[in-house]
Amino acid sequence: MSNNIVLGDNQYGKAEVRVVKVTRDTDRHQIEDLNVTSQLRGDFQAAHLEGDNGHVVATDTQKNTIYAFARDGIGSPEAFLLRLSEHFTSGFEWVTGGRWEAEAYSWDRIQAHGSEHDHSFVRNGQEVRTAVVVREGATTHVISGLKDLTVLKTTQSGFVGYPRDQYTTLPETTDRILATDVSARWRYNTGLDVAGTDFNKSYDDIKALLLEGFTENYSHALQQTLFDMGKKVLEAHSEVDEIKFSMPNKHHFLVDLTPFGLDNPNEVFFAADRPYGLIEATVQRDNTAPAPIAWSGIAGFC
């Protein structure tokens, strides 16, 4: 057995830098709100093995760079991360790549006296937008996504035909509530023209397609609905190679009201937060090349 101990894969950076950019070029202000993580990869062996920090771009420097770049505007989380990746890989020759991640939080204008206010906002809690840029040498991967998008339909869903054994107590049903928190991430082609891509428009369209896909068709299982949602996105967006989902089945159980002399015609439910079914899957084109380095570090997706 060898006693040689060597340094394996490594990265480092500044995590969860909260940056809010307010654009004030007119009386009608704009707000952009991000949580950014920067991690660098490259020749950092001497720092680990010899305590030589000659190649260590301080995490504080990475934080300051994020704030400085925000001064010129953000535009979209993806575009902002791409700017950071270009800066660090071109500015330091020993930085060969890295991983940059962001969560974006939406704000809506407050309605005041029948119109949208110019500089007062209310947090939009519908979902959190996500973005990841992974750069390795000359290859750049862009992954967009969202999480905590809670959806529910009150009918057109059932669950029957599953195997039964001595531990199965779940009754079959052809009419149930289907609810889930959608977490989805989609990877763009590596040949994507990032300069010519409107990531904000693409995000809005893909989110709308996911919601439409959830509503369409009778759902025989959450797995089927998941696939329908992913297929709808890939059919409409040739620039997307694959989309990954992680979706809990938020169970709603019919309450027995007979002890109170009442019927319950599928109207009163107990919403259980745990335990829950957890459905995860990738929907992809049949000729999609795997990109494991792009997904490394993204937990909760198969």
Are 290 and 258 contacting, i.e. CB atoms less than 8 angstroms apart? no
What's the longest Cα–Cα distance across the chain?
Answer: 78
The residue type found at 81 is L
Distance of CA 116 to the CA centre of its chain: 29
Residue 82 to residue 29: CA distance in whole angstroms: 25
Is 249 annotated as a binding-site member?
yes
pTM of the model: 0.95
State residue 1's pLDDT score: 59
- Contact in structure between 107 and 124 (CB atoms under 8 Å): yes
Between the alpha carbon of residue 118 and those of residues 21, 32, 64, 121, 293, the distances in Å are 15, 15, 29, 9, 43
121-165 pLDDT, tens digit per residue, is: 999 989 999 999 999 999 999 999 999 999 999 999 999 999 999
pLDDT tens for 18-29 read 999 999 999 999
Count of other CB atoms within 10 angstroms of residue 239: 13
- The angle formed by the CA atoms of residues 101, 105 and 109, to the nearest 5 degrees, is 155
Q: Mean pLDDT for each 10-residue chunk of the chain (302 residues)?
A: 87 98 97 98 98 98 98 96 98 98 97 97 95 96 98 98 97 97 97 93 98 98 98 97 98 97 97 96 95 93 86
**Annotation-wise, does 176 bind a ligand?**
yes
| Residue in 31, 48, 203, 191 with CA at minimum distance from that of residue 120 | 31
Q: What is the pLDDT of residue 300?
A: 86
Instruction: Name the nearest CA neighbour of 101 among 83, 78, 124.
Output: 78
Whether the CB-CB separation of 202 and 144 falls below 8 Å is answered with: yes
Is there a contact between 129 and 104 (Cβ–Cβ < 8 Å)? yes
> What order of strands is seen across the sheet that includes strand 178-188?
12-23, 30-42, 95-112, 115-136, 139-153, 178-188, 240-249, 277-284
Taken in order of first residue, the domains within the chain and their CATH numbers are 1-137 (3.10.270.10), 149-290 (3.10.270.10)
Query: Do the annotations mark residue 11 as ligand-binding?
Result: no
Does 223 carry a binding-site annotation?
A: yes
Q: What phi and psi values does residue 4 have, to the nearest 5 degrees?
A: -70, 130
User: Which residues carry out catalysis?
Assistant: 14, 59, 251
80 is in an annotated binding site: no
Are 141 and 124 in contact by the 8 Å Cβ rule? The answer is: no
Whether a cis peptide bond, with omega within 30° of 0, leads into 292 is no
Return the pLDDT at 302. Answer: 84
